[in-house]
Chains A and B, each alone.
Chain A
Amino acid sequence: MSASYPPLPPELVTFAEGGVSILVGTCNRELVPDCVRGMGVRVWPGASGLTVLLPAATAAASIANVRDNPRLAVTLSHIPSHRTIQVKGKVIAVRDGDDADRELATRYREKLADDLAFVGQPAANTLRLGIWPCHAVDLEIEVVFAQTPGPVAGVKMPLQTGRL
């Protein structure tokens, strides 16, 4: 199945891979939702999809959900400014994380610690977030929503104004 959404524009690729907070939503076919923090995002070449890393320790329910119902929501938020988007699409693969994923998760956690330190969360805590082992979930992007709190939250992108 091909993605219905045009490739992410370069500024959103930079945004998504810039160490923003990653929230992942799933649900099973009985409509029981689950959420888990992602620990890294890698946008595919061509920007039609992305891979999100989910720590195995906390993602069991979410992984079970996507195996049952391959729909995924990923909310990406820049903590200091609340600038936020939500990407939705279809999961096409779930695999165990590899060395490159572990390196990405480690770098991501350091960047996240910087952002959370900005809002007062001690890095000593953030740097203890569990990242390994992890699952790598491949997502084909179907739609992107603006999610920054305010009047355009929930509106499909690209927006008329071109802003998040």
Chain B
Amino acid sequence: MIRLDALDQCFHGIVPGVLATCDREAIPNVSYISQVHLIDEQHLALSCQFFNKTRQNLDENPLATLELYDPLTFEAYRLRLRFLRSESTGPLFDSMAVRILAIASHTGMAGVFKLRSADVFEVLSIEQREGYIEPPAAGERLVRSLPNGPLTELRGLQLVSERVARASDLDSLLTGALAALDEVFGFTHGMIMMPEHGKKLVTVASHGYGDAAIGAEVGCGEGMIGNVADTKRLVRIASASAELRYGRAIREQYAHTGSGVGAEIPLPRLADAESQMAIPLLVQDRLVGVLALECRSRLNFEQWHEAFLQVLANQIASGIERMAEREDDGAMSLPAAAPPKRVPAARTLNFTYYRNDDCVFVDGEYLIRNVPGKILWKVLRAYEAEKRTDFSNRELRLDPTLGLPPIKDNLESRLILLRKRLEQKCPDVRLVPTRRGRFSLCIGCELELVERETA
């Protein structure tokens, strides 16, 4: 018998599978299956989103036939199945539900379109459907764009591990890890988002998106990344456009029945992404960030990537934690950076701080908000009043007006975000790390500081 795990590519949902069932009166039913989940060598699970005829038939007669398609070659496989049970709680259900939830959330149907059960089947037999597709003509050859094998995985693990271990600060750790993932795995677009007050995630490092992604936010529970943060479970979508189209078809049906569905959240980032993966960065069970990857190629995130990326994600998470623990350790300071040179003032920049939402605009354009906004305002005010340019993380932590949490405050990631936004929007004002836990404010222009209650 063909091994079930040899059909891994058929489980990605790129070409939906087909399931035939029948009731006790021998009336057949045939329908598409949106999600097939490999459990082990003899078992798989199918998603059940609606109470439908398939579900009724399985309760009456456990036998089913599933046809799956290889998305690269379009070869077909017929699997004879026996329905065993439905699971509506537990790890299997959670793992399948989060993917449905991500699609539902993207299409504004969170809470409306959801997984009802993971239906578990025993696989009785597998056969390739001979003659389903004719062999290629002489000279014609299928090009299977599969990623490289285990050597690449191990090399990737080694390379990313080295980057994480050698990183001297959080910024180089995050950017180095993303660059390594591109170099070895070909994940051209990636970002690392970190939690802000447990309500949202903010992008602190990105690769492949230019400057646009830094500072981008997503609410916890919103879209694929927000759901990964909420559930702390990896989500992989191998055919993003197809799954979103499926979700939108359902959304349209709900809209016609008058059910309330929310506004659709636009899919951010790479507009034509076909493969997406989001991995929670966990230290023990605590979320320290989310690694989000995407690319234009389908099938770029193979099952084996999941296992290796989980390992890498653990290393990145540990690295983040390590940086947070040592960033205040001034005694083990890094070599001091050269003091920033003062650039002759050329122009005046207007910074406006809005107290109601801790938001800072520069020359009328949004710059940053929340804790990083308050930090910027604090250091700019200190510079204006005292011409101070040297600051420490410790004094920021001790300042109650900044609203940093007492433990695990993500201060370093907030400073990275602030530093990068300044580089993008007003390079005349820079935050330059000088040694561990300290930084200098480097001003190359005249400042005008304005404080307002609201916009």
Contacts and interface: CB of A to CB of B under 8 A. Distances in A.
Interface of A: 23-29, 31-37, 55, 57-58, 69, 71-75, 77, 80-84, 86, 88, 119-121, 124-126, 128-130, 145, 147-154, 161, 163
B250 A57 contact: no
B253 A148 contact: yes
Contact of A150 (B18, B20, B24, B250): B250
Contacts of A72: 28
Nearest to B64: A33
B288 interface: no
Given A35-B65, A125-B142, A154-B53, 17 more contacts: A26-B20, A34-B20, A35-B18, A35-B19, A37-B18, A37-B67, A58-B76, A58-B131, A58-B132, A71-B27, A80-B245, A120-B14, A121-B71, A130-B132, A150-B249, A150-B257, A151-B254
B220 interface: no
Most chain-A Cβ atoms within 10 A of its Cβ — which of B14, B26, B52, B239? Answer: B26
B30 interface: yes
A147 B31 contact: yes
Contact of A35 (B30, B52, B130): B30
Contacts, number: 160
Interface residues of B, number: 59
A75 B130 contact: no
B129 interface: yes
A44 B64 CA distance: 31
Most chain-B Cβ atoms within 10 A of its Cβ — which of A33, A35, A72? Answer: A33
B30 A23 contact: yes
B133 A75 contact: no
23 contacts: A26-B20, A32-B63, A33-B20, A34-B65, A35-B19, A37-B67, A57-B132, A72-B28, A82-B249, A88-B29, A120-B241, A128-B74, A128-B133, A128-B135, A129-B74, A147-B31, A148-B249, A150-B113, A150-B250, A150-B253, A151-B259, A152-B253, A154-B53
Contacts of B136: 128
Contact of A71 (B28, B251, B257): B28
Interface string B248-284: 0111111011010000000000000010000000000
A83 B1 CA distance: 35
Given A73-B28, A73-B29, A75-B31, A149 B245 contact: no
